[in-house]
Amino acid sequence: MDRLMLDYGKVMLRPLEESDLEKIAAWRNNPEVAATLVNVHESLDMVRDWYERIKTSRRERNFIIIDKESGKAIGHAGLAQLNFVNRNAELFIIIGEPAFWGRGYGRDVVRALLSYGFQELNLARIYLDTVAFNERALRCYKACGFVEEGRLRKARFKQGRYHDVILMSILREEWID
């Protein structure tokens, strides 16, 4: 990936680098963070294997989220499953530092990725999914213009029980920067 930087509100998104992998593994293994993630409890070797698969992929854009005020890396986000024929992609975001939760960082990251996806990549649709109990994420996505498309009942096993997954998307014509 080139050295593309995305700047929006309180965050800067810079391309993922190999030196970030330890931090990503730590975030995915933090029980507080992992409570809502799909891929958790991944060893550093597993994260390195994933990185080798995606680092030259045209179907993924991976970024590290930087808090502009402190310069600290606080998470990982991007667009995956890029499909340039159908012009859509899956948005993902992990705010890996709980101290930054509930303070608008997620919203700024989502808006930066929507702007990039719709303006730079010329996408028509961006979609995501999240567990139904992740109310903070659902509020963020709705505030950014995502609408619920469906519900997968009891689709994820987390914390000893099954949970519904909410499917959401936003279309280019619904997006307002």
Per-residue pLDDT tens digits of the chain, which is 177 residues long = 457 899 999 999 999 999 999 999 999 888 888 777 765 657 888 888 889 888 888 899 999 999 999 999 999 999 999 999 999 999 999 999 999 999 999 999 999 999 999 999 999 999 999 999 999 999 999 999 999 999 999 999 888 899 999 999 999 999 987
Half-sphere exposure of 157 (CA within 13 A, CB side): 1
In this structure, are strands 6-8 and 88-95 parallel, antiparallel, or unpaired?
A: unpaired
- Tell me which residue has tokens 């590290």: 64
- Tell me which residue has tokens 């709980």: 98
For the chain, domain boundaries: 6-127
Task: Measure the CA–CA gap between 28 and 25, rounded to whole angstroms.
Answer: 5
CATH number of 6-127: 3.40.630.30
Check residue 2 and give its pLDDT: 53
In this structure, are strands 11-15 and 61-67 parallel, antiparallel, or unpaired?
A: antiparallel
Check residue 1 and give its pLDDT: 45
**Amino acid present at 62:** N
Q: What is the dihedral of CA 156, 135, 16, 125, to 10 degrees?
A: 80
Q: Catalytic amino acids?
A: 141
Q: Which two tokens stand for residue 132?
A: 């139904």
Check residue 117 and give its pLDDT: 98
- Tell me which residue has tokens 């899956």: 90
Listing from the earlier edge strand, what are the strands of the sheet with 88-95? 6-8, 11-15, 61-67, 73-83, 88-95, 125-131, 161-171, 147-158
Alpha carbon 53 to chain centroid, angstroms: 18
Check residue 15 and give its pLDDT: 95
Check residue 37 and give its pLDDT: 72
Check residue 29 and give its pLDDT: 85
